[in-house]
Amino acid sequence: MGPVAAFRGNKSTLPQKTCLSCQRPMSWRRAWAKNWAEVKYCSDRCRSQAGRPTPTR
């Protein structure tokens, strides 16, 4: 059984990854169930920023 079967309302049991763009942790989502191994970014914004250098402040 996958992460959905073990979920039962406890979000700490869901797998997590780090976004390659913003370095924030992201939790498994049902929408990503079929391609969780391929997920790299937490949002469309991070995906669009992927090839750009981070602005210096």
Average pLDDT over residues 14-24: 92
In a domain, 56, yes or no: no
Cβ within 8 Å of residue 19, ≥6 positions away: 25, 26, 40, 41, 42, 43, 46
Between residues 57 and 48, the one the model is more confident about: 48
In a domain, 53, yes or no: no
Cβ within 8 Å of residue 13, ≥6 positions away: 3, 6, 7
In a domain, 27, yes or no: yes
pLDDT at residue number 48: 92
In a domain, 54, yes or no: no
Give CA separation, 29 vs 16, 37, 48, 52, 56, in Å.
10, 12, 20, 26, 32
Residue 26 token pair:
């992201």
pLDDT at residue number 11: 76
In a domain, 30, yes or no: yes
Instruction: Please give the tally of structural domains in the chain.
Output: 1
pLDDT at residue number 51: 75
Residue 14 structural domain = 3-48
- CB atoms near residue 28 (< 10 Å): 19
In a domain, 28, yes or no: yes
Between residues 11 and 30, the one the model is more confident about: 30
